[in-house]
Amino acid sequence: MQVLVGMKPEPPRKAEEVVKRFVKAKPVAYHTVTASVKAPGRVLATKEVMLVAEASGRIEPGEVVLKKGARFSKGQKLLNIYKDEAEMALRSRKSQFLNSLANMLPDIKIDYPDFYGQFQQFFSSVRLDRDLPNLPTVTIGNNEQLKVFLASRNILSDYYSIKKDEMALKRYTLYAPFDGTFTQVNFEAGAFVNMGTQLAKMISTSNLEVEVPVENRQSEWIKVGSPAIIHSASRNKNWQGHVVRKADFVAPSTQSRSIFVKVDPDNARDVLSGEYLDVEFKGQEIPDAMEIQRSAVFNSNIVFTVVDGRLKKEPINLIKYNEETIVFNGLEPGTELVVEPLINAKEKTEVEIIR
């Protein structure tokens, strides 16, 4: 009996039910794709200047508070260095120069009557509280006798020595070279400083650039002069800019290349040096290409297509990588391309397309 039981035929197995998969796909259609690149960057001031004392003395206040963060406009007086003594010394020298001219005029009237009128006018135009006017043109002419006469009276040497002192006196007052702000202040009003002392550091607020590190292979799509959109997510603001230069080297640690975007001056007032902003480069146009999600590509350059209702692996020609998408060509137009990632999918799996 036991032998007969063991010879009992097995019941027929139930055929495995084939489950049809549904996949998202769309036909391949090529067109012109704009190769945009997006990356964050940091705002930099293109002009950063150290304010240095060109004379010794006590700092006197100007038209701007000498404090970190204080803003100023181009041409505003930033500060004075006490110069009363230097001014009085210069006026004394001008007075002595006038005396020399007064003593010289009678001799010129007799010996060089043709030039007397010019020197008389020069003498009359000298003011102690103003810069010396230009010397009469005859002093640089070809009249050698007159030059010898003026040199013997020390007129030329005294004149140019006073002009030098006038230039030195102007260094006691410091003016803003651009619209900007103080980022560092080392001395305030009332402090005594020596010539060469670093008083403050200032940056221009109207000449700003955004330094954007871009992956080296992505930087190839960015050209100098191309437009860019600068965006602040925290402030929900956009600014216009353009690429002014590209670094000719790659950072070893990040393998990125710095792209410098100049913020258009009309908008630069709202942009703050040091902040991080997002930049979108419009880049170049890629003809006869298509863009899909990166997740639809596997093994670097393989995608699934649908042929006669079944999956098929096919390679594509990758043209450009984006953060979430890729630009490609290499498939026949009209080919049904799977545009979503498939898990545990195999070739020849029966599928049905959904749009």
Within-domain flag for 186: no
Amino acid (1-letter code) at residue 103: N
Within-domain flag for 308: yes
CATH number at residue 334: 2.40.420.20
Give the per-residue SS3 of the chain: CHHHHHCCCCCCCCCCCCCCEEEEEEECCCEEEECCEEEEEEEEECCEEEEECCCCEEEEECCCCCCCCCEECCCCEEEEECCHHHHHHHHHHHHHHHHHHHHHHHHHHHHCHHHHHHHHHHHHHCCCCCCCCCCCHHHHCCCHHHHHHHHHCCHHHHHHHHHHHHHHHHCCEEECCCCEEEEEECCCCCCEECCCCEEEEEEECCCEEEEEEEEHHHHCCCCCCCEEEEEECCCCEEEEEEEEEECCCCCCCCCEEEEEEEECCCCHHHCCCCCEEEEEECCCEEEEEEEEEHHHCECCCEEEEEECCEEEEEECEEEEECCCEEEEECCCCCCEEECCCCCCCCCCCEEEEEC
Within-domain flag for 122: yes
- For 316, counting Cβ atoms within 10 Å of its Cβ (0-12 exposed, 13-18 middle, 19+ buried), the class is buried
**Alpha-carbon distance 177 to 324, whole Å?**
45
**Alpha-carbon distance 215 to 213, whole Å?**
7
299, 267: one domain: no
Q: Is the pLDDT of residue 116 over 60?
A: yes
Closest Cα to residue 181, out of 281, 72, 105, 26?
72
Sheet bearing 285-293, strands edge to edge: 31-34, 285-293, 325-329, 317-321
**pLDDT band at 1; cut points 50, 70, 90:** very low
Number of structural domains found in the chain: 3
Q: How many residues does the chain have?
A: 355
217, 258: one domain: yes
114, 151: one domain: yes
The residue with greater pLDDT, 8 or 165, is 165
98, 139: one domain: yes
The chain-wide mean pLDDT, for the chain, equals: 89
296, 263: one domain: no
**Alpha-carbon distance 75 to 69, whole Å?**
18
241, 277: one domain: yes
Mean pLDDT of 323-348: 91
**Alpha-carbon distance 92 to 58, whole Å?**
22
Give percent of the chain above pLDDT 70.
93
Domain of residue 137 covers 85-170
**pLDDT band at 16; cut points 50, 70, 90:** low
Last residue of a domain, one of 117, 143, 170: 170
Within-domain flag for 176: no
94, 165: one domain: yes
Q: Inter-axis angle of helices 144-152 and 155-170, to 10 degrees?
A: 70
pLDDT at 13: 63
pLDDT in tens, 133-163: 998 876 555 677 888 888 888 998 999 999 9
Amino acid (1-letter code) at residue 227: P
pLDDT in tens, 275-289: 999 999 987 889 999
pTM, rounded to two decimals: 0.71
**Alpha-carbon distance 195 to 55, whole Å?**
4
- For 250, counting Cβ atoms within 10 Å of its Cβ (0-12 exposed, 13-18 middle, 19+ buried), the class is middle
pLDDT at 179: 92
